[in-house]
A and B are shown apart, each in its own frame.
Chain A
Amino acid sequence: MSSSKWPVVAALTALLAVGVSACGSGDESASGAGGGELSGAIRIDGSSTVAPLTEAIAEQFQADNPDVRVTVGTSGTGGGFEKFCAGETDISDASRAIEPEEAEACKKAGIGYEDVHVATDALTVMVNNQNPVTCLTVDQLNAVWGPDSEISDWNEIPGLEADYGEELALYGPGTDSGTFDYFTDEINGEEGATRKDYNNVGENDNATVTGVEGSPGGMGYAGYSYYIENEARLKALEVDAGKGCVAPSVETAQDGTYAPLSRPLFVYPSKEALKKPEVRGFVDYYLENATGVAEGVGFIPLTQAQLEESQAAAAKAGA
């Protein structure tokens, strides 16, 4: 074994490292030569609910503009705003409106923004196909999901007309998600207020579907896309917020009658970022294509009126 192996090994290692990084690196030419050749990088982070829509749009955008690099993170709505208000991201995905503390932080850091409504989600309460119940009021939902709830059987739900003696099996999303925040806020009156003994599915909303499907007394809540993908396997409850039972659907979410569980989904571009032509281009592209892509990823598309409002907001932010 001669010592001439050394340089070979070293050279191969170096070659491997250099070769791989050479393949990967592209140059970052800042703004493209005027006239349509967009390039640069766009950093997006935030809600994991909105992310699939943003990702789908980003894919198509990058196909049309190959010199732009878009990354979409899923740190959650809150985590996304934190990075956004620290200037680390260009656009924040959000499944709820920005909160006062977060707005304060952005103001302190000098980050200006505008909330752009890009789609609507209809948070759906799902039950097992065998379940005869078709509608629950907000109060009944609160009775089941509230922090002090001790209801363990469907027949214990106050004011229930149907007779269904099955044991309750509850499934809900992770506590990091905007879905959780929104549901607890609307149904239980306070974000984070919920009974403790439900099956927490964490990142894996699909588990809500499997869980409810497999338990006769199952009840779970998740975004509309999870219901729509699995329509045959589950039943969506109608929700009565005081004006009658309303089922979740594209129409009822768009006109707001599916209350209180229809929620707007936003992207928040920063004013700073909008100065970059690639970000400007992306936001415009987003709005142009959002209505087309939304249903594909399981969301409710904007109405024409909502779309125009959003486009105005985006224009204002970039001004």
Chain B
Amino acid sequence: MLEAQSARYGEKAIEGLLAVCAILSVLTTTGIVLSLIGPTIGFFEVVPIGDFLFGSDWTPQFEPPGFGVLAIVVGTLSVTLWGMLFAIPVGLGAAIYLSEYARPRVRRTVKPVLEILAGIPTVAIGFFAVSFILPEVIQPLWPGEFLGGAEGRPFMALAAGLGIGLMIVPIIASISEDAMSAVPRGLREGAYALGATRAKVAVRVVFPAALSGIAASIVLAISRAIGETMIVVLAAGSTPNATFNPVEAIQAMTAYIATTATGDISTGSLDYKSVFAVGTVLFLMTLAMNVLSIRLVRRYREVYE
């Protein structure tokens, strides 16, 4: 980059000002870490970490209180699991279709629709999950007493899971489709020339070539699902329950934070600190997923450049 000949003081000042704007991002991360650390340490001064990680009940407000976080971690994972079981086939299917099969006109209509889906506020999806998916889709279709039956349940992990699945389909679809588009045409054309059908090309040539991008999209989607709050608050329930049973109500970590931090607890109490301890667990989980997804994206970008 050519350097301007006449440097002025103003230039340095402006550069400094802009740098400050950028540094704000580092400050935000520091802020998040700081806001979580203090009360979390205070929490662990009272609650042994063994109880926290391996305790059987998450009942911080009962007498006597139980602080086993596993119950709500499993709750979060259960909803995430059901969400991914829906979103991966639907999202990947849509991505392959858009990338390998769809005519340009179809692409131009479907892609914006997926973008609209991506922009739907989660409170609307949560409302949809609890007032429609639960009573009108799951309960009528559920086979009888299987796993305890779906009747009479106001909250369900599966309902929240399907809501979350719907929310993350656009993430998987658009990032996977990007990754597949990045696969050079030459690879496809070579395969077609050897007599392969479209299906074979899609599954055996394009998909493996775009694998790290697809993997990145799935990891990112998992991260979003873990961090989602409103859908689980509205549809999954408030009963901490370490089960993967789809028809049972569970409490996710995010739901615990949301309902407790707005409710009836005094600042400085153990309940209050438990919110931050759970927040720390949540932050660490999503951080790990994000780092992994960034690595994967970098790998798929590098392969062809």
Interface residues of A (CB under 8 A from B): 75-80, 82, 147, 169, 171, 174-178, 184, 190-194, 196, 198-204, 206-208, 210-215, 218
Contact = CB atoms under 8 A, between A and B. Distances in A.
Interface of B: 57, 59-63, 66, 151-155, 233, 237-240, 249, 251, 255, 259-260, 262-267
B263 A76 contact: yes
A194 B264 CA distance: 18
A215 B63 contact: no
Contact of A215 (B57, B66, B152, B249): B152
Contacts of A174: 238, 259, 263
B265 A211 contact: no
Main secondary structure of the interface of B (DSSP, over half): loop
Given A174-B259, A192-B61, A215-B152, A202 B233 contact: yes
Contacts of B155: 199, 201, 207
A200 B238 contact: yes
A23 to B, nearest CB: 24
Nearest to A128: B152
Which 3 A-B pairs rank lowest in CB-CB distance, beginning with the nearest?
A76-B264, A214-B152, A202-B238
Contacts of B251: 200, 202
Contacts of A200: 237-240, 249, 251
Given A82-B267, A193-B63, A213-B152, 6 more contacts: A80-B264, A174-B259, A200-B249, A202-B255, A214-B154, A218-B152
B154 A210 contact: yes
Contacts of A218: 152
B266 A82 contact: yes
Given A204-B154, A213-B152, A196 B264 contact: no
Contacts of B259: 174, 176, 202-203
A145 to B, nearest CB: 12
B264 A78 contact: yes
A194 B59 CA distance: 10
Nearest to B255: A202
A190 B267 CA distance: 22
B57 A202 contact: no
Given A169-B152, A199-B237, A201-B237, A176 B63 contact: no
Given A176-B61, A210-B154, A199 B260 contact: no
A84 to B, nearest CB: 12
A210 B150 CA distance: 13
A208 B154 CA distance: 8
